[in-house]
């Protein structure tokens, strides 16, 4: 039997909603796909060639389907009424108020969306959780959705998204897996099959995993927690490497070649950032505590504690090397995005590093190829004169006492460091928070070089 789904709607046109729906529309011309948002500016940007997010390769995918079977709109309620299947991809940030503030997820956007769906619907629909949610959220959603009083049925599926920013197009086109959780009732299984049928247009069937709703919800939190845990594990080892003259990249290579461990996500860094790792682990910790699993909660909390420690440690290294004072010194920050190939700065370690340096009265000169607009907003409350934003890395470095690499943009390893060295104050320092530069070459030029998890190369 062919699927009853023809019209797909996604509520939330952000980093997940926009790219995932563009891919579905591009791969499945037989479905009408609409993406709605309460933010008219975002919607206008999706309709233009200046998309609201920077993501390599995304514009081509959007253009393939936009105007054919992919539409962006702020007309939320009529779009709900037309839809057979509704993905909900609104933001689920950490709560900043009330019970669980700073830890629990803020589900107000999700709940408001569920209420709008109930209000605007006059027939049964499938509702797909695309946002990352605490395990058992579907239960709460079902209670809201079934409070419609007119006998409508909303089948709730969990279809968490695993794309990473900067590689979203490839992650969506060739995912390691797609996960679909449903209730194991006839209606749940039929809804699950309707969603499997959509992905099967381009994802091999064996990569489309199905499970119960709770496993799907929890798998998303667990996947992010495991990934972040690897980064904290290698970062904790980087601290020990610096004390013992071991080299963290050599250690990572040695342990990563064990096929049980694997080589990926073992790159020591100034810390992980991004909108999700921290909030999802906080969410996991909060859920564990609420079930009385104190030891489990503590275990995952440590992943976050090591991440904060790594940022603090990076700034302490800068201070210690620069004679315990950076007051009135210019420090060029190379990179502000939380990783390369994105303009996103949410939870970027660069924000914390910049703020700590500013507290020490340094002047930070920020360069980033894509994230300067966000950096401006992130540091808007810094004291006058403490922040400069620079589009040219050579100008950013001119007159600086130190460079700190905070994002691993490819361009940074290709700069002319002889010229940069000539234009800087002496002694000149490099703090490589991503280990992307050629440290021996920089040392030979005259820099005092402080890599992460390796011996410093100094002239002093």
Residues contributing to the site for ligand NAD (CB under 6 A): 11-17, 36-39, 42, 76, 89-92, 109, 112-113, 131-132, 161, 163, 165, 275-276
Distance CA 60, CA 52 (A): 14
Q: Which of residues 329-348 bind ligand UGA (CB under 6 A)?
A: 338-339
Closest CB 281 distance from ligand NAD, rounded Å:
12
Q: Does 261 bind ligand UGA (CB under 6 A)?
A: no
The site that binds ligand UGA (CB under 6 A) totals a number of residues, namely 20
Closest CB 175 distance from ligand UGA, rounded Å:
10
E strands along 146-273, which residues?
154-158, 178-182, 208-212
Token pair 């919607």 is found at: 43
Q: Does 310 bind ligand UGA (CB under 6 A)?
A: no
Closest CB 43 distance from ligand NAD, rounded Å:
9
- Residue 269 interacts with, from ligand NAD, ligand UGA, none (CB under 5-8 Å by kind): ligand UGA
Closest CB 71 distance from ligand NAD, rounded Å:
15
The catalytically annotated residue of 10, 276, 288, 302 is 276
Q: Which residue from 42, 267, 330, 355 is in contact with ligand UGA, where contact means CB under 6 A?
A: 267
The order of strands in the sheet holding 402-405 is: 387-390, 363-367, 330-334, 402-405, 429-432, 448-450
- Residue 14 interacts with, from ligand UGA, ligand NAD, none (CB under 5-8 Å by kind): ligand NAD
Q: Does 165 bind ligand UGA (CB under 6 A)?
A: yes
- Residue 112 interacts with, from ligand UGA, ligand NAD, none (CB under 5-8 Å by kind): ligand NAD
Q: Which residue from 274, 343, 369, 451 is in contact with ligand UGA, where contact means CB under 6 A?
A: 274
Distance CA 453, CA 266 (A): 12
Termini Cα distance of the chain? 75
**Do 89 and 14 meet the contact criterion of CB atoms below 8 Å apart?**
yes
- Residue 231 interacts with, from ligand NAD, ligand UGA, none (CB under 5-8 Å by kind): ligand UGA
Pure H helices in 322-371: 349-359
Build a one-symbol-per-residue string for 221-240: x at contacts with ligand UGA by CB under 6 A, - elsewhere.
---x--x---x---------
Eight-state DSSP code of residue 208 = E
40-to-12, 43, 109, 116, 279 alpha-carbon distances in Å: 11, 5, 16, 18, 26
CA angle 154, 156, 159 (to 5 degrees): 145
Q: What number of residues does the chain have?
A: 460
- Residue 39 interacts with, from ligand NAD, ligand UGA, none (CB under 5-8 Å by kind): ligand NAD
How many CB atoms lie under 10 A from the CB of residue 323? 10
Per CB under 6 A, which region of 24-32, 45-53, 139-147, 162-170 contacts ligand UGA? 162-170
Distance CA 286, CA 14 (A): 25
- For ligand UGA, give the closer residue by CB, 132 or 137: 132
Distance CA 293, CA 307 (A): 22
276 among known catalytic residues: yes
**Do 255 and 241 meet the contact criterion of CB atoms below 8 Å apart?**
no
Instruction: Compute CA 251 distance to the chain's CA centroid, rounded to the nearest angstrom.
Output: 26
Q: Which residues are catalytic?
A: 276
Residues at the interface with ligand UGA (CB under 6 A) = 132, 161-165, 224, 227, 231, 265-267, 269, 272-274, 276-277, 338-339
């Amino acid at each position: 039997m062919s699927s009853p789904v023809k019209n797909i709607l996604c509520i939330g046109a952000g980093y997940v909603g926009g790219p995932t729906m563009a891919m579905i529309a591009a791969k499945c011309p037989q479905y009408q796909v609409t993406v709605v948002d309460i933010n008219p500016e975002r919607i206008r940007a999706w309709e233009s060639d200046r998309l609201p997010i920077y993501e390599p390769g995304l514009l081509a995918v959007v253009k393939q389907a936009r105007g054919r079977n992919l539409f962006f709109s702020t007309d939320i309620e009529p779009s709900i009424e037309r839809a057979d299947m509704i993905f909900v991809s609104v933001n689920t940030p950490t709560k900043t108020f009330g019970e669980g503030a700073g830890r629990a997820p803020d589900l107000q956007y999700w709940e408001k969306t569920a209420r709008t769906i109930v209000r605007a619907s006059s027939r049964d629909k499938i509702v797909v959780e695309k946002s990352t949610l605490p395990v058992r959220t579907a239960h709460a959603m079902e209670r809201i959705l079934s409070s419609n009083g007119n006998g409508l049925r909303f089948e709730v599926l969990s279809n968490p998204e695993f794309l990473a920013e900067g590689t979203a197009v490839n992650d969506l086109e060739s995912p390691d897996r797609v996960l679909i959780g449903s209730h194991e009732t006839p209606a749940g299984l039929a809804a699950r099959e309707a969603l499997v049928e959509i992905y099967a247009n381009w994802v091999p069937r064996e990569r489309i995993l199905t499970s119960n709703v709770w496993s799907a919800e929890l798998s998303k939190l667990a996947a992010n927690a495991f990934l972040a845990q690897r980064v904290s594990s290698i970062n904790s080892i980087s601290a020990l490497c610096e004390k013992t003259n071991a080299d963290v990249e050599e250690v990572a290579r040695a342990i990563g070649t064990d096929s049980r461990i694997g080589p990926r996500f073992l790159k020591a860094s100034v810390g992980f950032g991004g909108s999700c790792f921290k909030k999802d682990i906080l969410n996991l910790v909060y859920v564990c505590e609420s079930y009385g699993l104190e030891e489990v909660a503590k275990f995952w909390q440590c992943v976050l504690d090591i991440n904060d420690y790594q940022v603090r440690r990076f700034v302490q290294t800068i201070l210690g090397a620069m004679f315990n004072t950076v007051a009135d010194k210019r420090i060029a920050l190379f990179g502000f995005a939380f990783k390369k190939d994105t303009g996103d700065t949410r939870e970027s370690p660069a924000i914390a590093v910049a703020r700590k340096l500013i507290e020490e009265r340094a002047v930070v000169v920020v360069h980033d190829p894509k994230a300067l607009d966000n950096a401006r907003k992130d540091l808007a409350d810094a004291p006058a004169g403490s922040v400069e934003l620079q589009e040219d890395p050579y100008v950013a470095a001119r007159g600086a006492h130190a460079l700190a690499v905070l994002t691993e943009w490819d361009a940074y390893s290709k700069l002319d460091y002889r010229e940069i060295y000539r234009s800087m104050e002496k002694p000149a320092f490099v703090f490589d928070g991503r280990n992307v530069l050629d440290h021996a070459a920089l040392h030979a030029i005259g820099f005092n070089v402080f890599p992460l998890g390796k011996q410093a190369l100094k002239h002093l």
